[in-house]
Structure formats: C-alpha cells, structure tokens
Amino acid sequence: MSLVLRNSNSNRDSNHVTRYRDPFSMARELLGWDPFFSGVSSRAASAFAPAFEVKETLDSYVVRADIPGVAESDLDIAVHNNVLSVSGNRASEERKDGEAYALYERQFGSFTRSFQLPELADGERIEAKLEHGVLTLTIAKKAEARPRKIALKK
C-alpha cells in the first residue's frame, strides 16, 4: 500500500513523521491482482488503456486522448450510426537475450473506445490531429445547434 511521508515541523518532536495512506491504492492493487503470477517482479504489464477527455465548446465537441507511442498508421478513427470509435495499438519493444528487467510497468496492446455522439454533432465534419502523443478530435456541431440572434420587427 502506498504511503506518503511528511516530516512535522512542530517544536515538541522534531523526529515526528506523519503517515498518510493513499485511499485508492488498495482498489488499484485488488483490481490489478492476478492469481497466476506469484511474485510482483514477474508480473506482466497491464493492457494499454489511454485516458480520454470530452468537452463541449460553443461550436464543437472536442475529444482528446493521451496515446504516446502509438503510430499514426496504428490508429483507426471511424464514425458509424452516430458512434465515434477510436482504436489503436501500441507495440511492445522487442526483448533481447541477456536483458533482465528489474521493473516493467509500461503498458502495451490494443485499445478501443466508443462514444455515442449527441444529436447536434455533425459526424461528417470531424477533424483529427495527432501531435506529441495527444490525439485531438474536433467534431463540429450542426448549424441548428449554434445560437443565433433574432431581430425584433418594427
């Protein structure tokens, strides 16, 4: 379990150490537990699952994903029946004879994420950009979704 240590600056005990437990570390350990691996050092790296964020602006929806190490050729972006699907693959490095890892935590493998687009999203106008390991998808809103000014009649 993870611990965070902090030295106390109080006058009464200068050697006092406060220990804080990470409340989510136990959940991470339990969800990552694999009964077929006996030791921590022999444990295989978990599957690659990039983090996504989705936000709405006045004229578009923006989807961003952190996908470092994924080549543009290994990335597939598609829209079908108003569902946006992003899939890709990050290949593992080739291990050579004589190399021994003391720690191996990097994640490799295939991933797929799907998002139901809102009715106001225009699935025909999507821009995709991959820059510095960050995928940015900009999905334009339909014209009727944009606010418009209504003039008063005189």
Residue 111 has pLDDT above 50, yes or no: yes
Top-tier CATH class for 50-91+107-144: mainly beta
Angstrom distance (rounded) from CA 122 to CA 11: 64
User: 75 or 37: which carries more pLDDT confidence?
Assistant: 75
Which segments of the chain belong to CATH 2.60.40.790?
50-91+107-144
Among the ranges given (22-26, 56-60, 71-75, 110-114), the one the predictor scored with the smallest mean pLDDT: 22-26
DSSP 67-123: -TT--GGGEEEEEETTEEEEEEEEPPPPPPTT---S-----BEEEEEEEEPPTTEEE
Tell me how far apart the 2 most distant CA atoms of the chain are, in Å. 86
**For residues 125-135, average pLDDT:** 96
Residue 32 has pLDDT above 70, yes or no: no
Q: The whole model's pTM is what? A: 0.64
The H or E element spanning position 66 is strand 60-66
